[in-house]
Structure formats: structure tokens, C-alpha cells
Structure 1
């Protein structure tokens, strides 16, 4: 159920345009730049959480 609502929200937002400029509302170049760094940070954070959980 949750995945269906997430997928429909993504589909809806893919079709949206910027209110004043002639461009999509999602900047795909920026998303492609941020996503790998975000995944790396999550992986490092989870690893540190497992290692330093006793503190």
C-alpha cells in the first residue's frame, strides 16, 4: 500500500512543471549528483551505528 502511494506521487511529480519557468520541477542533474553521496553517507552512518552502539 505504501509503495503504491509513493510510486503514484513520483509519477505525479514527474509531470509537474515549474510555476514560472519553462522547466520541470525536479532537477534531474542535481538528483543524480546528490544520490550517490547520500547513499555513501547512509552506509557510513549505519556502519558507525553498529560499531559505536555501546556508547
Structure 2
């Protein structure tokens, strides 16, 4: 969680789906990993004022 700033999360490039719950009240949300709401791999990311990016690591 960030009150004032962007969040960037790099996840392993494994093809494993994640239950991603990413929100921003004032910024873009970009999710570039496989998602499945029922996955046991859960990621929560929230920014009040900034972009949230979830992507696969290179």
C-alpha cells in the first residue's frame, strides 16, 4: 500500500496465475501477469495517489 506514490511489482515469469487485487484512487492500474480470481497466489496492491503496475520479471 502507498498513500502517495507508485507501486511496481515484478513477479516470477512462470505462467502461474495470480489473484490480483490492484487499485488506485488517482492513477492507472496495469496488470501484465496471468490472473485467476480463484488462485491461491494472492496479491493486493493499493495506491491512493499513484500508478500500480504488476508485471512479469525479465
TM-score bin (small chain): under 0.3
The alignment's TM-score, normalised by the length of structure 2, stands at 0.18
Q: Which has the higher contact order (CA 8 A, sep 6+)?
A: 2
TM-score under structure 1 normalisation? 0.18
The structure richer in helix per residue is 1
